[in-house]
Copies of this chain bind each other. A is one copy, B any other.
Amino acid sequence: MKKDFIYLAKLQDYYRDHRVLPSYRTMTEVLGLASKSAVHALIARLIDEGFVSKTPDRRIAPSDRFFERPLAQSAVRAGMPSFVEDSVSDSMAVDHYLIDNPTHSLLVPVQGDSMINAGIHDGDIAIIDTMLSYKAGDIVIADIAGEVTLKTLVRDEGLWALKPENPDYPLIQPKDEWRVVGVLVGLMRKYR
């Protein structure tokens, strides 16, 4: 129903402000309904349409569609990117987009231009997952005798080697003890 989207918008606003969905009783206030059973029915509809879901312990949680916004596709078609009004949940989406495993994630500032041809610049922040298994071709953070460096992991004559993405730098064939600290899973950069 059309009115449901108005309710949904109010819930999105509430979620943006509090990062939690309110209880049914509070929803009656937030949504302007007088009864919990009306809220109950609404939530049932929203669950049906995939906007919210229930956790194992019966809590109401936003699901993927809850965060959906008219974004890229409409941007291309309409010719104009639609503006982001509901921003915090969008910035939360940023966190969600970049970080899969909060517990295993590590942010490492990039130094130097040894990876410039991979589009990784000095000052960028690399998002590293420390629990992911690595394979040849991955960009990884390696710890070589206490020195930490970001390079592409490759096989070289049957051994692991670390390849800079910049012809000015040599291939590194670690001799000392070394290990892969984590795998690059994301990158962020700030302008201005």
Contact = CB atoms under 8 A, between A and B. Distances in A.
A13 B63 CA distance: 16
B92 A107 contact: yes
Interface string A163-192: 000000000000000000101111111111
Main secondary structure of the interface of A (DSSP, over half): mixed
B80 A13 contact: no
A158 interface: no
Contact of A106 (B10, B81, B102): B81
A102 B79 contact: no
Contacts of A189: 119, 186-188
A55 B16 CA distance: 12
B192 A99 contact: no
A115 to B, nearest CB: 10
A183 B192 contact: yes
26 contacts: A9-B102, A9-B103, A13-B102, A20-B61, A22-B59, A67-B102, A69-B106, A69-B107, A74-B111, A76-B148, A79-B148, A80-B146, A81-B141, A83-B106, A83-B130, A90-B107, A91-B107, A94-B107, A94-B188, A97-B188, A119-B189, A132-B192, A185-B192, A186-B189, A187-B188, A188-B189
Interface of A: 9-10, 12-13, 15-16, 18-23, 25-26, 55-57, 59-63, 67, 69-72, 74-76, 78-81, 83-85, 87-88, 90-103, 105-109, 111, 116, 119-121, 124-125, 127-128, 130, 132, 138-139, 141, 143, 145-148, 181, 183-192
